[in-house]
């Protein structure tokens, strides 16, 4: 089974998969509402607004594995993201990105190394994976800001 075909649910509980975004560049990000990096939501939403009409989408994957910084229910996460940061990009159900219960999407994503040659477990909230329409995956550190010139150049190259 391809990463695109792995079943996932939206934050509202609707079944979907990454195949629903076929032909688009996807920035998959494990997110959290109570993290020092949470303000990255604003930059992620800016990317969505800037490139969404050109075949790009951010997809947020809430995760509570890092110091329990995403403790909320689906409704609480949705309300926080929309009222605090105006998030319009798709948000998926809360998942595990590490460990025995790691979601199959992250089983595949974590095989990819970033620019610092880190592969394997997700290090922290807001680690980013750019999935190009051809399936090529590029990994970015949690500290890579959404407005990082290298990330923006990679998004533009994938469109």
Active site residue 63: no
CA distances for 147 relative to 46, 143, 151, 155, angstroms:
9, 11, 7, 11
Residues 6+ apart with CB under 8 A from 110: 97, 98, 102, 119, 120, 121, 122
Q: What is the mean pLDDT of the chain?
A: 96
pTM passes above 0.75: yes
Q: What is the pLDDT of residue 157?
A: 97
Catalytic residue among 3, 25, 31, 35: 35
In this predicted structure, the answer to whether residue 154 has a pLDDT above a threshold of 70 is yes
Write the pLDDT tens digit of every residue in 70-92: 999 999 999 999 999 999 999 99
What mean pLDDT is predicted for residues 112-137? 95
Give the whole-number percent of the chain exceeding pLDDT 90. 97
The structure tokens listed for 13 are 């509980």
With beta carbons less than 8 A apart as the criterion, state whether 102 and 108 touch: no
Q: What is the pLDDT of residue 37?
A: 96
What are residue 59's phi and psi, to 5 degrees? Answer: -130, 120
- Domains of the chain with bracketed CATH: 3-158 (3.40.30.10)
Give the confidence band of 11 by pLDDT, cuts at 50, 70, 90. Answer: very high
Running DSSP on this structure, what letter comes out for residue 107? H
Write the pLDDT tens digit of every residue in 57-66: 999 999 999 9
What mean pLDDT is predicted for residues 137-147? 97
| Of the candidates 4, 48, 5, 58, the residue with the CA atom closest to the CA atom of residue 27 | 58
């Amino acid at each position: 089974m391809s990463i695109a075909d792995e079943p996932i649910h939206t934050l509202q509980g609707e079944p979907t998969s990454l195949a629903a975004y076929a032909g688009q560049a996807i920035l998959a990000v494990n997110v959290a509402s109570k993290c020092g990096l949470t303000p990255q939501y604003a930059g992620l939403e800016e990317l969505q607004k800037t490139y969404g009409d050109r075949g790009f989408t951010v997809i947020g994957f809430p995760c509570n594995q890092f110091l329990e910084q995403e403790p909320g229910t689906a409704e609480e996460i949705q309300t926080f993201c929309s009222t605090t940061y105006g998030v319009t990009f798709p948000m998926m159900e809360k998942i595990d990105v590490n460990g025995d219960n790691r979601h199959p999407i992250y089983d595949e994503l974590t095989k990819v190394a970033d620019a610092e040659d880190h592969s394997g477990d997700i290090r922290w909230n807001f680690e980013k994976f750019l999935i190009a329409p051809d399936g090529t995956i590029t990994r970015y550190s949690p500290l890579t800001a959404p407005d990082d010139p290298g990330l923006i150049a990679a998004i533009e190259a994938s469109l």
